[in-house]
Amino acid sequence: MAVVELKNVSKSYQLGETRVDALRGITLDVHSGEFTSIIGTSGSGKSTLLNIIGCLDKADGGLVKITGQDVSKLDEESESSLRNEKIGFIFQSFNLIPVLNIFENVELPLFVKNKLAVPERRERVDRVIESVGLGKFKHHRPDQLSGGQRQRVAIARALVTNPSLILADEPTANLDSKSAHMILDLMADLNRNQNVTFLFCSHDEKLIGRVGRVVRIQDGMIAE
């Protein structure tokens, strides 16, 4: 099943008097269970593409379907529900809340859904924290963890809603080489053993051998 279906997607921005064509006719499918990286240099359009897939931005033209739903036909509330329930996000800057401990940071997305009983919610949070190897750190605050550990928290937070797709924008960019490889190992393990679908952006050519599929983007287009 195609979790992501893009056909001839375009996006442009106006910077002063200059028109920037960020995406120029992107066609791409991502299927359930894939571990895919979008590789491209800075300014190639990969982050714009990820934002459109994540329903954080809107395409100017073309078809965007997420889990079979045509995003252009959704009202604001339905689009927000799709984003909150079907998509998990991992950011290079972690985006953790400093005053909350690890358990509370991971639990936060579940308050948006607000459909789980308290015991079920707590059990799910405990489970995903354990799955990223941070069970004994769940009462620590983010500033008490290393960069690699904080990115593990971000992965747990993305997993906790049981999304159909996890999007990651340069998830290893702020990590040292050892921590970056550990994060990739963790993502690959979650993909392989739990069938989690990952789509992440990177400019790091060294990652190519670590993923199941590489999509190259250049000047807003998929490179052959």
Q: CB–CB of 49/59 below 8 Å? A: no
Cβ neighbours of residue 37 closer than 8 Å, sequence gap 6 or more:
199, 200, 201, 202, 207, 208, 211, 213, 214, 215
Tokens 């491209």, located at residue: 40
Q: What percent of the chain has pLDDT over 70?
A: 98
Model confidence over 101-111: pLDDT tens digits? 999 999 999 98
pLDDT band at 172 (very low <50, low <70, confident <90, very high): confident
* CATH of the structural domain 33-56+74-222, one choice from 3.40.190.10, 3.90.180.10, 2.30.30.100, 3.40.50.300: 3.40.50.300
pLDDT at 86: 92
Helices and strands, counts by H and E, the chain: 6, 10
Residue 114: pLDDT over 70:
no
Model confidence over 33-65: pLDDT tens digits? 999 999 988 889 999 999 999 999 999 999 999
Q: Rounded mean pLDDT of 67-91?
A: 92
Model confidence over 135-147: pLDDT tens digits? 999 999 999 999 9
pLDDT band at 210 (very low <50, low <70, confident <90, very high): confident
Q: Domains of the chain: which residue ranges?
A: 33-56+74-222
C-alpha–C-alpha distance, residues 222 and 224, integer Å = 7
C-alpha–C-alpha distance, residues 207 and 200, integer Å = 11
pTM of the model: 0.89
